[in-house]
Amino acid sequence: MSMEQLIEKYFRPGRLPHIWCPGCANGIITGALVKAIDRVGLEKDNTAVVAGIGCSSRASGYLDFNTVHSAHGRALPFATGIKLAAPQMAVIVITGDGDAAAIGGNHFIHAARRNIDLTVLLYNNSTYGMTGGQYSPLTPTNSKAATAPYGTVDRPFDLAALARGAGATFVARGSAFHAPMLADLIASGIRHKGFSLIEAVASCPISYGRQNKLGDAPAMLKWQRDHALPADAYEKLSDAQKADKFPIGVLYQADAPEYTEEYAKIIARAQKGGL
């Protein structure tokens, strides 16, 4: 199916053109999402897309599913409630690096710990783009931001490693440059039974890019091309060689009891009067 046909099928009529900045990679990532949904064959009436607040979260307004545009950092609690109320529904969470890792950080680690069957698509543009370019927990050290004009001294989260450590059972990373691979990773995350994180390395040429003199939108996509490596190739590098690279692909996958299924067992036991 062509991108035009996917837009016709999965986007709300009359909501385009979008309001993302020129050169923003969010459109590429959202395109990868609908390609993945179409590939998996999700039914629109049985799919919920839940967003927090931020540039990426605007996607929930464009997509023609059951959607919730919730509060900042609170997409995961809303999604958890939907999944518990309707376990048969596919629930996809759209979030950004600030939304998920800062304001929503505690919700993120506990949703991963529970291994509840949610697919989290995190648009990582390394900044709070919508509110003026402040640094986020995923902004690289020494990068400039509206709140760090001389460079941030904070060390960034490796959110993929954090998700795995917290209990997520599917962890992957892609990039806007590697859009076909990103669609494959999102589809795999949707199919996985349990908590899935797909981190999508994005680009924000208007705010983060300008503040750090990273060039225009094509230059930032080329940076992703030149610094991403397949996970198995990345692991063969020395620590020094890894310094300016990042791994893409499936980073971790495991099986573990899924939260709503375990919760249903408790309900059944209680209804039978068992302890």
Find the helix packing angle between 159-166 and 105-114, rounded to 10°.
Answer: 50
pLDDT at residue number 274: 65
| pLDDT, greater one: 275 or 155 | 155
pLDDT above 90 coverage of the chain, percent: 95
The band of 179, judged by pLDDT with boundaries at 50, 70 and 90, is very high
The band of 207, judged by pLDDT with boundaries at 50, 70 and 90, is very high
When computed from its CA atoms, the radius of gyration of the chain, rounded to whole angstroms, is: 18
- pTM for the whole thing? 0.96
Name the phi and psi angles at 240, rounded to 5. -65, -40
pLDDT at residue number 253: 98
Residue 174, pLDDT > 70, answer: yes
The chain-wide mean pLDDT, for the chain, equals 96
| Mean predicted confidence (pLDDT) in 39-58 | 96
pLDDT at residue number 95: 97
The band of 67, judged by pLDDT with boundaries at 50, 70 and 90, is very high
Residue 256, pLDDT > 70, answer: yes
pLDDT above 70 coverage of the chain, percent: 99
Distance, CA of 260 to chain centre: 21
pLDDT at residue number 47: 98
Decide: 55 and 96 in contact? Cβ < 8 Å. yes
pLDDT at residue number 273: 84
Sheet holding 119-124, edge to edge: 66-69, 47-51, 90-96, 119-124, 196-201, 170-175, 246-253, 228-230
The band of 1, judged by pLDDT with boundaries at 50, 70 and 90, is confident
Nearest to 220 by CA among 176, 180, 182: 176
| Mean predicted confidence (pLDDT) in 44-71 | 95
Q: Which of 8-12, 126-130, 193-197 has the lowest mean pLDDT?
A: 126-130
List pLDDT tens digits, range 85-103: 999 999 999 999 999 999 9
Residue 222, pLDDT > 70, answer: yes
